[in-house]
Amino acid sequence: MVYEGFEVNEDEKPYKISHRYFYFSKNVILFIKECKYEKIYHSMFDQLLRSATSIGANVVEGKSGSSKKDWKNFQVIALKSANETKYWLCLINETLEVNKIKINELINEADEISKIIASIIIKSDKPHG
C-alpha cells in the first residue's frame, strides 16, 4: 500500500505518524464492516466511524493551516476525536458480541494515538532553544 508517496507494509506498525492515523482509520472501517448489529446500535457505529476517521483528517488539514495557532487547533480536535473514538470502542465492546481481540487492538491503538497527539501538543507549547 502506498500512502503519501511512501510504501507501507501493512503487517508492521507504520513509522510515520500520519501513516499510523491512516491505517487506524482503515482498520476501524474494516472492523465496522465485519460487525453485525441491530438497528439500535447503528448510531454508535456511525459515531465511531466519524470520530476515528476525523483523527487523521484533522491532522492533515492542520498541516495546511495558516498559523501555528491554527495548526494547534487541528491537533486539539484530533486529540478529542481520538478520545471519543476510545469511548465508542469501549461502549461497543461492553454492549455487543464483537471480535474481542480486534476491538482491544483498536482500543490500544486509539490510546497510543491519543498519547502521541497529546505529547505533540504539549511539546509545541514549550519554547525552543
Buried b (16+ CB within 10 A) or exposed e, 78-100: bbbbbbbbbebbeebeeeeebee
Q: Which of 105 and 124 is assigned the larger pLDDT?
A: 105
* Phi, psi angles (nearest 5°) of residue 2: -115, 130
AA letter at 100: K
- The whole-angstrom separation of Cα 6 and Cα 21 is 14
Compute CA distances 13 → 2, 10, 18, whole Å.
14, 7, 11
Q: For residue range 10-60, what is the model confidence (pLDDT) as tens digits?
A: 556 656 888 999 999 999 999 999 999 999 999 999 999 999 999 999 999
pLDDT band at 126 (very low <50, low <70, confident <90, very high): confident
For the chain, give the secondary structure using H, E and C: CEECCEECCCCCCCCCHHHHHHHHHHHHHHHHHHCCCCHHHHHHHHHHHHHHHHHHHHHHHHHCCCCHHHHHHHHHHHHHHHHHHHHHHHHHHHHCCCCHHHHHHHHHHHHHHHHHHHHHHHHHHCCCC
The range of the structural domain enclosing residue 63 comes to 2-125
> Which CATH number characterizes residue 68's domain?
1.20.1440.60
Q: What is the mean pLDDT of the chain?
A: 90
How many separate domains does the chain show? Answer: 1
pTM assigned to the model: 0.85
pLDDT band at 7 (very low <50, low <70, confident <90, very high): low
